Amino acid sequence: MLTTWFGEPLHAHNVVRRDFRRVIERAGLPRIRFHDLRHIHASYLARAGVPPKVAQERLGHSTLTFTMKVYTYTLAGMQEQAARAVASYLLGRP
């Protein structure tokens, strides 16, 4: 369990709202919602070629369909990468 400096449990509301915002600002990153981290994580799992079933389990979803519909997006370059993979397969090139 994570605690405050005084040993008290962290309050989820404070972590998500106040503390997360401070970390983002200090890092000089664009402001995003805490929940957006789940979407980003799912998208990068897809981009890294992690099997969708593994992503589903990591995100704690009951169905693969839900994970694929809601949490995976086509990131820049993924369509091109897919086209190259198919062309490579069809043309027998590594």
Residue range 60-77, pLDDT digits in tens:
999 999 888 877 666 667
Would you tell me how many other CB atoms lie within 10 Å of the CB of residue 83? 10
Whether the CB-CB separation of 47 and 55 falls below 8 Å is answered with no
As a whole number of angstroms, the distance between CA 48 and CA 29 comes to: 22
Whether 15 shows a pLDDT value over 70: the answer reads yes
Radius of gyration of the chain (CA): 19
pTM of the model: 0.61
Among 16-20, 57-61, 69-73, 86-90, the least confident range: 69-73
Section 2-23 average pLDDT: 85
